[in-house]
Amino acid sequence: MKYQVVVTERAELQLREVYDWWAEHRSRAQAIRWYRGIYRAILELRSSPDRKPTTAEQILPSETLHELRYGLGHRKSHRAVYVIRDNQVVALLIRHLAQDALSPGDI
């Protein structure tokens, strides 16, 4: 089964914020590579999104949070947190792995 991938406005904004940080603190070329790479990885969730692990924080009573970890090279730096709803994969937010655990207000 193929799922439709939906990236929320919040996740889009967070992707852009990370892109801007990479461009300012690393390089524009790395920022582009990171942005394109994570976006491609999110879109690839349309096939078997349930194969990715669940988050340590299960803070939604009626839905299971999953995460896709991504980074440049072998080192993962960020995670895309998503839920599976019927035939959709909904990317809710993008977080750096060093950020605090999720709380209900984050979703």
Neighbour count for residue 61 (Cβ, 10 Å): 6
| Residues 55 and 69 sit within 8 Å (Cβ to Cβ) | no
pTM of the model: 0.93
pLDDT tens readout for residues 49-64: 999 999 999 888 889 9
Cite the DSSP H helix spans in the chain. Answer: 9-25, 28-43
Q: What is the pLDDT of residue 107?
A: 83
pLDDT tens readout for residues 18-48: 999 999 999 999 999 999 999 999 999 999 9
Residues 71-84, mean pLDDT to the nearest whole number = 94
Domains of the chain: 4-106 (3.30.2310.20)
